[in-house]
Amino acid sequence: DAEITQSPRHKITETGRQVTLACHQTWNHNNMFWYRQDLGHGLRLIHYSYGVQDTNKGEVSDGYSVSRSNTEDLPLTLESAASSQTSVYFCASSEGNEQFFGPGTRLTVL
């Protein structure tokens, strides 16, 4: 069955380190998204991509970057992790009307 996976599921890192969160989908969807979820804020859009080599900034993109070299993957990189980036990160993909979400990555920055 087609699916969307994220890795790692849990990550603890230190302030200032570079961290990359992986997102992989097997639906062959063109659209992929990264959100962060924090208590009291719901989900907020970080970056998104409409296809290979396309990336766009979302509402809370500062301190994050993405790259899209193929259809299946959209890795999210924190260039220099900060404590404010402690959160749960969800990747999603869509083609048409509905977005499908991955299982999430819980990131703690100490």
Partner 1 sequence: ELKVEQNPLFLSMQEEKNYTIYCNYSTTSDRLYWYRQDPGKSLESLFVLLSNGAVKQEGRLMASLDTKARLSTLHITAAVHDLSATYFCAVEDQAGTALIFGKGTTLSVSS
Residue selected from 19, 21, 29, 48 as contacting partner 1 according to rule CB under 8 A: 48
78: which strand partners? 19, 64
Q: 38: closest CA among 106, 90, 88, 102?
A: 88
Smallest gap, in angstroms, from Cβ of residue 89 to partner 1? 11
Residue selected from 23, 90, 93, 109 as contacting partner 1 according to rule CB under 8 A: 90
* Site membership for partner 1, residue 70 (CB under 8 A): no
Type of residue found at 79:
E
Instruction: Tell me the site size for partner 1, rule CB under 8 A.
Output: 23
Site string for partner 1, 13-42 (x = CB under 8 A): ------------------x-x-x----xxx
Contact of 32 with 83, CB cutoff 8 Å:
no
Q: 62: closest CA among 41, 36, 43, 40?
A: 36
